[in-house]
Chains A and B, each alone.
Chain A
Amino acid sequence: MGLTTQLGKPDATSIIKGKFSLFEYFSELASVAAPVAAVQIEDIQDFGMNAMSQTDEKIFHYGGGKDYRLAEEYDGEYTGTLQMLAGGMGRIIAALLGKTYTLAGEASLPLGHLPRYPLCHIQAFLRRVDNLTHIKSVVLQDLIFDPIAYPVAMGLNTIDLPFRSNYDPFELVAGAEMVFDKFSGDGSTTDFTLSSTPLDMVTATESHLVDWDFNTAAFVKVKLSGEDTGTRQKGTCTITGTTLAFSTAPAASSEISCFYAKATP
């Protein structure tokens, strides 16, 4: 009976502040490992994510003809920005590209032409003011980075690192964290063992979840030798417990990846 109900005050998990949050990424270009180690991101000053766009395509004829809905496109994209201290920008770009950006490695870092395929998945841990107690996480998958403007401002110089993605961002419950496992295909192995037990993440059959093909993973991809990016699998494999099982063995020299959630010990 809500007419006279009074709720409590906002509790310590209601308020999110960036200074108590930690961002890390899983690199799409990382070497095969189960799990791929997450890398903490330094120098972040701000973070913003726009709503996912949707397009609604219609067809009609002149003369007052009634609209006919040709297609309703839910599989849109969202954009966002990581605002970072200028000094740290090179480090993060180089790391995302898998470059050894040093005197002994590659000494320059082209900023105008970034790859047009997904480079990483970001997980932001939102924590209470003790920097210890997990409130929840925000996870962004398959991020493609846009060209960077590089203003040299006076004072505290920050730079926007713009990104986009075509796949659902999602929240993750307190006590859970993402795992990114990568395996090598040899043309004959069909079963791969995940490094942790996946949590149930969604009910993928729900009609609005167009980006989800598994209940227990955000995606499974297979990247063939020589390709820039992997293909999301649908109907070619299943996840049961810690077993990722393909009906047909992924090709030799292919790279299999699985992005899923586990309970934090």
Chain B
Amino acid sequence: MIRANYYKEDIQRVIWTLLEDLAGDTFPYNKCEIKFNYPDFDVTRRLEKPVVYVQAPLNVEKSYHFGGETGLGWSMIIGIWADRTSGHEPIVNAFVSSAMNFFLNPQTLNQRAFTIKLGTTTYTDTTLISMGVYIEDVEDSGDIVTEEIHDIRKEIKLYLRS
């Protein structure tokens, strides 16, 4: 279960671990390198594979009941960056399509088992919902401008609750 004092990192790590797990056996994730945080410049200049980056969530919503603590709603960006040698637009579009479909299909999403360590605790064969992360929606954030015109970058935005 994600830890209240480490919301941002734990949510980011859960989503990153889930995508890493998919990269082990599922197209197009297995054609990509899944990065925790935005990639460093040296990575994006030498792309051996399209780079998928999982950014930290931003708090965008709060919910509470009277006399209670505050529940948090988050938005979170997942991006993919490719160049002409690493798959380019087809693989980028395949990733965006596949990720949209994956995050919008609640039953598949919440039954995908993965193993993660948060702090000192290892959770084996856990699921997103078991970790306390509830995906409510996802949207296509579109193309992101790149300095190199032959590069292509796209992002999706998750809306989740924890």
Report which A residues bind B (CB closer than 8 A).
2, 5-12, 14-15, 17, 20, 128-133
Determine the distance from Cα of A14 to Cα of B111 in the docked complex, in whole angstroms: 21
Contact in complex: B107, A15 (CB < 8 Å) = no
Question: Which of these, B68, B106, B109, B111, contacts A10 with CB under 8 Å?
Answer: B68
Contact in complex: A8, B68 (CB < 8 Å) = yes
Question: Which of these, B71, B111, B129, contacts A128 with CB under 8 Å?
Answer: B129
User: 9 closest pairs, A vs B, by CB?
Assistant: A7-B68, A130-B110, A9-B71, A131-B106, A9-B69, A129-B134, A10-B71, A130-B129, A7-B67
* Closest chain B CB from A12 CB (angstroms): 6
Interface string of B89-101 (1 = CB under 8 A from A): 0000000000000
Interface string of B46-72 (1 = CB under 8 A from A): 000000000000000001110111111
With contacts A129-B106, A132-B110 taken as known, whether A15 is within 8 angstroms of B67 at the C-beta atoms is no
* Closest chain B CB from A129 CB (angstroms): 4
Determine the distance from Cα of A10 to Cα of B70 in the docked complex, in whole angstroms: 7
* Residue B34 lies at the interface, judged by CB distance under 8 Å to chain A: no
Q: Which residues of B contact A7 (CB under 8 A)?
A: 65, 67-69
When C-beta atoms are compared, the residue in chain A nearest to B110 turns out to be A130
* Residue B136 lies at the interface, judged by CB distance under 8 Å to chain A: yes
Question: Which of these, B65, B67, B106, B107, contacts A14 with CB under 8 Å?
Answer: B65
Q: Which residues of A contact B110 (CB under 8 A)?
A: 129-132
Q: Which residues of B contact A132 (CB under 8 A)?
A: 106-107, 110-111
Contact in complex: A15, B129 (CB < 8 Å) = no
Determine the distance from Cα of A133 to Cα of B109 in the docked complex, in whole angstroms: 13
| 8 A Cβ contacts from B126-162 to A | 129, 132, 134-136, 161
Determine the distance from Cα of A11 to Cα of B64 in the docked complex, in whole angstroms: 9
When C-beta atoms are compared, the residue in chain A nearest to B72 turns out to be A9
Q: Which residues of A contact B64 (CB under 8 A)?
A: 9-10
Determine the distance from Cα of A2 to Cα of B64 in the docked complex, in whole angstroms: 17
Contact in complex: A8, B69 (CB < 8 Å) = yes
Contact in complex: A9, B106 (CB < 8 Å) = no
Q: Which residues of A contact B107 (CB under 8 A)?
A: 130-132
Q: Which residues of B contact A9 (CB under 8 A)?
A: 63-64, 68-72
Contact in complex: A128, B134 (CB < 8 Å) = yes
Question: Which of these, A2, A10, A133, contacts B65 with CB under 8 Å?
Answer: A10
* Closest chain A CB from B126 CB (angstroms): 13
* Closest chain A CB from B31 CB (angstroms): 28
Q: Which residues of A contact B129 (CB under 8 A)?
A: 12, 128-130, 133
